């Protein structure tokens, strides 16, 4: 009996190590089986969290994981190669991406041409029947190269070539040139996709292909090649003064503008204060002649307006002549008109008095 009791005690101790598969929560845990996620919205026990943080979080994680596994075992299972497989449902939670979505690769030059012409890619066979060897030969790979060596063990030299030409070496060089051409085309496609400017290769830089800066440099060198280093050379229409880095090497007589030494903190502070004083004490430039003329004109305009608006005083006669300009001294060269035979005693006749 003692042995039986010992065995039962051991089994009981083992069972105490493992927690039950049933977990009770105040609020149900939200589960997303598609992404194997569990959202626990229950409140945390602050006392246990402060007293024994690691054990509390570990037990909480264990309970939520147990609920997730219980839900997974409720799904329909099937056996595949002596293994039990469960098909998960569609995920409900959208997980953010760690990196941006991949952009589609840009089309190569041939792909753009094929798309514009409607050329579709056809699936080719991997093997091809060779009539000379009487067997199936792959279209690529090491077996293709071995078949080519077996078939072309002898190559005829054409009549237009040197009879001592090694045709095998020439064929190998042509193949390497094709490989290099394909690699160059691949690099061009990559540069064109990344919008990188490709320099011109294989063409001499002539006058019709030279850039504006190259033409300016050539003109500067030609002008400085005279005995006076271009000092008395006539300028072209709309020609600019040569400037920029390296101009002193092209024109030896050109004066070099020396750089000022780096100022000390005291000098820099003094320069800044002087600049600030100049800005604050700056007075606007005044044209004295223009200002005086404007002042005189304004006075004349005001005086004429005052004369127009003023009324004559009572008891005084207004000797203002009724002339066109209103000026009493506006005499003319015409003779004064007389009464012309009609005398009016109430009206004084004009004209000159005879003595």
Q: Indicate the average pLDDT of the chain.
A: 80
Q: What pLDDT digit, counting tens, does each position of 192-217 carry?
A: 888 887 776 655 555 566 777 778 78
Strand partners, 31: 38
Residue 250 has pLDDT above 90, yes or no: no
Residue range 296-306: average pLDDT? 90
Please state which of the ranges 130-134, 137-141, 254-258, 294-298 shows the lowest mean pLDDT: 254-258
311 CB contacts (<8 Å, ≥6 apart)? none
Annotate 151-206 with DSSP letters as a single string. Answer: H-SS-PPPTTS-TT--HHHHHHHHHHHHHHHHHHHHHHHHHHHTTPPPPP-SS---
Q: What pLDDT digit, counting tens, does each position of 128-186 carry?
A: 999 988 999 999 889 998 998 888 888 888 988 888 889 899 999 999 999 999 999 99
Residue range 220-243: average pLDDT? 77
What pLDDT sits at residue 4? 67
> Exposed, middle or buried, 347 (CB in 10 Å: 0-12/13-18/19+)?
exposed
Residue range 82-92: average pLDDT? 88
25 CB contacts (<8 Å, ≥6 apart)? 40, 42, 63, 67
CB burial of 144-160 (b: ≥16 within 10 Å; e: otherwise) equals: eeebeeeeeeeeeeeee
Query: Which contacts qualify for 323-327: CB closer than 8 Å, 24 or more apart?
Result: none
**Whole-number Cα distances in Å, 201 to 109, 150, 251, 302, 333:** 19, 39, 30, 81, 95
For residue 267, what pLDDT band results from cuts at 50, 70 and 90?
Answer: very high
Instruction: State how beta strands 84-86 and 77-79 pair.
Output: antiparallel
> Measured in whole angstroms, how far is the alpha carbon of residue 52 from the centre of its chain?
55
Q: What pLDDT digit, counting tens, does each position of 95-114 carry?
A: 888 888 888 888 888 899 99
Contact 66/24 with Cβ under 8 angstroms? no
3-state secondary structure of 299: helix
Residue 86 has pLDDT above 70, yes or no: yes
Residue range 309-320: average pLDDT? 60
> Measured in whole angstroms, how far is the alpha carbon of residue 166 from the centre of its chain?
55
What pLDDT sits at residue 268? 92
**HSE-CB of 292 using CA atoms within 13 angstroms:** 3
CA distance 9 to 19: 17
Does the CA dihedral 215-220-226-230 come out positive or negative?
A: positive
**HSE-CB of 338 using CA atoms within 13 angstroms:** 7
Residue 321 has pLDDT above 50, yes or no: no
**φ, ψ for residue 344, nearest 5 deg:** -120, 115
For residue 6, what pLDDT band results from cuts at 50, 70 and 90?
Answer: confident
Residue 25 has pLDDT above 70, yes or no: yes
Proportion of the chain above pLDDT 90, given as a percent: 15
For residue 266, what pLDDT band results from cuts at 50, 70 and 90?
Answer: very high
Question: What is the 8-class DSSP label of residue 137?
Answer: E
Measured distance between the N- and C-terminal CA atoms of the chain, rounded to whole angstroms? 184
Contact 60/25 with Cβ under 8 angstroms? no
- Crossing angle for the helix pair 167-193 and 109-117, nearest 10 degrees? 80
Residue 42 has pLDDT above 60, yes or no: yes
Higher pLDDT, 340 or 136: 136
What pLDDT sits at residue 194? 85
Residue 317 has pLDDT above 60, yes or no: no
What pLDDT sits at residue 287? 78
Residue range 35-64: average pLDDT? 89
Higher pLDDT, 353 or 35: 35
The structure tokens listed for 240 are 């600019």
What pLDDT sits at residue 230? 73
CA distance 2 to 37: 49
Residue range 15-33: average pLDDT? 81
What pLDDT sits at residue 213? 77
**φ, ψ for residue 87, nearest 5 deg:** -90, 115
What pLDDT sits at residue 252? 61
What pLDDT sits at residue 237? 81
What pLDDT sits at residue 354? 59
The structure tokens listed for 300 are 């004349």
> Measured in whole angstroms, how far is the alpha carbon of residue 280 from the centre of its chain?
40
């Amino acid at each position: 009996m003692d042995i039986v009791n010992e065995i039962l005690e051991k089994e009981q101790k083992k069972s105490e190590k493992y927690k039950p598969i049933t977990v009770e929560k105040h609020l149900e845990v939200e589960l997303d089986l598609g992404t194997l996620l569990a959202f626990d919205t229950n409140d945390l026990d602050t006392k246990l969290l402060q007293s024994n943080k690691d054990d509390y979080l570990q037990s909480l994680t264990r309970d939520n994981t147990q609920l997730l596994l219980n839900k997974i075992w409720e799904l329909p299972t099937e056996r595949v190669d002596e293994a039990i497989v469960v098909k998960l449902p569609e995920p409900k939670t959208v997980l953010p991406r760690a990196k941006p979505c991949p952009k589609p690769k840009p089309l190569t030059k041939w792909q753009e041409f094929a798309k514009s012409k409607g050329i579709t890619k056809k699936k080719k066979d991997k093997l091809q029947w060779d009539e000379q060897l009487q067997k199936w030969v792959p279209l690529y790979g090491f077996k293709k190269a071995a078949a080519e060596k077996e078939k072309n063990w002898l190559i005829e030299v054409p009549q237009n070539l040197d009879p001592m030409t090694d045709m095998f070496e020439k064929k190998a060089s042509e193949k390497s040139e094709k490989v290099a051409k394909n690699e160059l085309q691949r690099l061009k496609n990559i540069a064109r996709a990344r919008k990188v400017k490709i320099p011109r290769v294989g063409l001499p830089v002539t006058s019709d292909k030279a850039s504006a800066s190259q033409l300016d440099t050539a003109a500067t060198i030609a002008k400085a090649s005279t005995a006076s280093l271009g000092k008395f050379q006539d300028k072209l229409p709309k020609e600019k003064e040569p400037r920029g880095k390296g101009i002193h090497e092209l024109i030896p007589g050109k004066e070099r503008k020396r750089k000022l030494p780096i100022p000390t903190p005291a000098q820099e502070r003094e320069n800044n204060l002087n600049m600030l004083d100049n800005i604050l004490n700056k007075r606007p430039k005044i044209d004295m002649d223009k200002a005086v003329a404007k002042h005189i004109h304004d006075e004349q305009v005001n005086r004429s307006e005052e004369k127009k608006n003023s009324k004559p005083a009572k008891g005084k006669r207004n000797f203002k002549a009724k002339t066109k300009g209103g000026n009493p001294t506006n005499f003319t060269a015409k003779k004064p008109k007389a009464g012309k035979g009609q005398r009016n005693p109430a009206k004084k006749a004009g004209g000159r008095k005879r003595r």
